[in-house]
Structure 1
């Protein structure tokens, strides 16, 4: 296996080849080629943006695995001065979004705290700062992509489903993070990363209405807690 592909696996927390391909919008065959010849520059840039690491490190192993453009996360209060390239993101730390069986909760308008996020990160993901907020995940249905206690940044302005992307959803009053896929006739497929323990669900258009299914936001960045 080529060294640059090994570094890509490390950057993606050793996700499967199929999962990496899905996350960075490449075909599994492309990743097979990377195993033999190394990751392309374009591929390294896409992977770096998706997994929050340095493209140069993926390609050559030079430098730190964390890139200088990775989102910076820090607590914020009224006495903290923002840097010129930072914005304030509402952080609903106590509104838990399930990565398991679900948690009854409600995203309220009264924010209790904020996080700081670099404008370069928001530009990279095409997120309007006014639509960005952070939520706390719990449970293990999306592990290892989203671990228990992770801070997940979401875009509440992006609700159109792109197959294989992660969204915050409300399903029967329960907030969850899940992979979503569009199905024929207006249906939706709901998939967990930990598929061994959490089986996928498929809802028809009528079941979407009956079960009060709603896409709340697109999850564009994950900050997993350190062990």
Structure 2
């Protein structure tokens, strides 16, 4: 059993079955089996950290499980903060760039977590739990004009089941990207860019999904594009 998987089990309390663990962090059971042999992926560590209140770095590398935590669950602003009652504070990974192009490696863990305000009414509108909401920065032009380079994208890490034609943050071979996703027969997936002329779509079979370490990290439910 890989050491990172052992730490993930420890973080969960050590009593969950692999199926229960998969449901708890929104992953497929087969993905959990792969982690047991190969180690937990960075996106998986991010989800595990959010679910169990430990450091994603600790899941991946060991050390201190509760110091310098990389993921902070969303919580309401405390009473001393002058914000509206309808607002909550969500983690903002401003320096974690999610590719909207061909992709480049983004170190999801080990970055400073900043905060953004988001209204509870917005979360209710999109059916997002405040404990699953995060903000990420996009770059590249493959999803333009829907998501432009430098946009702040709000995501729901609790929603990873694919709905055809929706935009998701994905991890594909260690690269993190925003893409349209479509389900294919026998467990396959189509990965589609908005800028189709420059970025042709990709199709993965169920076997390729496993071999290429593809997984859905989060559902993108809102975006704030920068001004030109």
Residue 107 of structure 1: how far off its partner (Å)? 2.4
**Partner SS state of residue 84, structure 1:** coil
- Distance in 2 (CA, whole Å) between partners of 1:146 and 1:177 is 9
- Does residue 1:100 correspond to 2:116, yes or no? no
**Partner SS state of residue 158, structure 2:** coil
- Distance in 2 (CA, whole Å) between partners of 1:110 and 1:94 is 7
- Distance in 2 (CA, whole Å) between partners of 1:132 and 1:87 is 10
Could you say which residue in structure 2 is the equivalent of 1:120? Answer: 121
Could you say which residue in structure 1 is the equivalent of 2:208? Answer: 207
Q: 1:162 to 1:150 in 2, by over 3 A?
A: same
- Does residue 1:141 correspond to 2:139, yes or no? no
Moved over 4 A (4+): none
- Distance in 1 (CA, whole Å) between partners of 2:101 and 2:111 is 26
Count of aligned positions:
152
Q: When the two structures are superposed, what TM-score results if normalisation uses the length of structure 2? A: 0.64
Residue 105 of structure 1: how far off its partner (Å)? 1.4
- Distance in 2 (CA, whole Å) between partners of 1:161 and 1:184 is 13
CA RMSD of aligned residues (A): 2.0
Could you say which residue in structure 1 is the equivalent of 2:92? Answer: 91
- Distance in 2 (CA, whole Å) between partners of 1:130 and 1:147 is 26
Q: When the two structures are superposed, what TM-score results if normalisation uses the length of structure 1? A: 0.64
Could you say which residue in structure 1 is the equivalent of 2:173? Answer: 172
- Trace 1:60-99 onto structure 2 (pairs within 5 A): 80-99=81-100
1:63-118 deviation digits (Å, cap 9, x = unpaired)? xxxxxxxxxxxxx9xx8533110000100000000000112113227643100000
- Trace 1:150-189 onto structure 2 (pairs within 5 A): 150-189=151-190
